Amino acid sequence: MLGIALAAGSGCSVALDHSELASPSRTYADPIAVSARAEGINGKVGWGRITLFYIPCVPIHIQGDGNEKVMEQVRAALQQVGYRVNVVETPASAREPMLKCKVDTFWFNNYTWLVPFVPTWGDVDLTLSLERSGGQVAWQQSFHGHGFSANFFDGYSSAANKAMTEILNQMVDTFASDDFHNALVHAAAT
C-alpha cells in the first residue's frame, strides 16, 4: 500500500508543455493548415512502478486529450518559425497543404524503489507529414526525443516536457529549412 501511495504521490499524469524554444535560423510567413489532433495516443502513456521487481501499478495519462495536446506543441514550433497556422478539424476543409502528426511512441516509466530518488524516463517519437489537398504526401519526417527526471512530485511531466522540447527544437530547425519550405510552397501550388 505504501508503494502505491508513493507511486501516486510522484505525479501520475503528464501536464504536456515545453520549455522556451530555440530561435529559428530564418522565418517564413506562409499559411499552413494543421490538423487539430494528432493520431496515436489511445489512453495510457506509461506506468508508475513499485518494488524492487519493477511491478506496474498506476497507469499514466496525459492531462486532457493527448492527441490535441501534442498538436498544440507542434503548432508552437511552426509559429516559432513564423508560419501562419490554420487549425483544421477535418482534412476536407483545408484550403492549403495540411500538416498531420502520428504519435509513434509516447511512453514513460518511473521506479519508486529508491524513494526519495524516483527516476522517471521515456521517449517520444512523432512522424509529421505534409499532405496536399488530395491526400498525397508532399513531405514527411520523424522526430525523437528522450526525457529523464528525478523530480519526485512531477517526474512524468518533467521528463515528457524535456522530450517534447527536444523534439520541438528539432522541428523549429526543420520548419526553418529550405527543404520543408520548398515542399510547402510546391504542395500549395499543385
Q: Spell out the domains of the chain, with CATH numbers in brackets.
A: 2-189 (3.40.50)
Q: What is the pLDDT of residue 2?
A: 45
pTM of the complete model: 0.89
- The pLDDT of residue 93: 60
Residue 127 has pLDDT above 50, yes or no: yes
Average pLDDT taken over every residue of the chain: 89
Any long-range contacts for 54-59 (C-beta under 8 Å, 24+ apart)? 54/111, 54/113, 57/3, 57/4, 57/7, 58/4, 58/7, 58/8, 58/12, 59/12
Q: Is the pLDDT of residue 35 over 50?
A: yes
Report which of 159, 72, 170 is spatially closest to residue 123, judged by C-alpha positions.
159
Q: Where are the alpha helices (DSSP H) in 41-122?
A: 66-81
Query: In this model, does residue 181 exceed pLDDT 60?
Result: yes
Question: Where would I find the H helices in the chain?
Answer: 2-9, 66-81, 155-175, 178-189
Which of 15-24, 53-62, 103-112, 139-148 bottoms out in mean pLDDT, i.e. has the lowest?
A: 53-62
- C-alpha cell belonging to residue 48: 508508475
SS3 content of the chain, % helix, strand, coil (to 5): 35, 35, 35
Q: Which pLDDT value is given to residue 6? A: 43
Helices and strands (H and E) in the chain: how many: 4, 8
pLDDT in tens, 67-112: 999 999 999 999 999 999 999 987 666 677 899 999 999 999 988 7
What is the percent of the chain with per-residue pLDDT over 90, rounded to a whole number?
Answer: 71
* Length reported for the chain: 190
- Residue 116: its pLDDT value, please? 81
Task: Return the closest-CA partner of residue 110 out of 44, 43, 47.
Answer: 47
Asked if omega into 116 is within 30° of 0 (cis), the reply is yes
Q: Please, which residues bridge with residue 47 across strands? A: 59, 109
Determine the average pLDDT of the residues in 32-48.
94
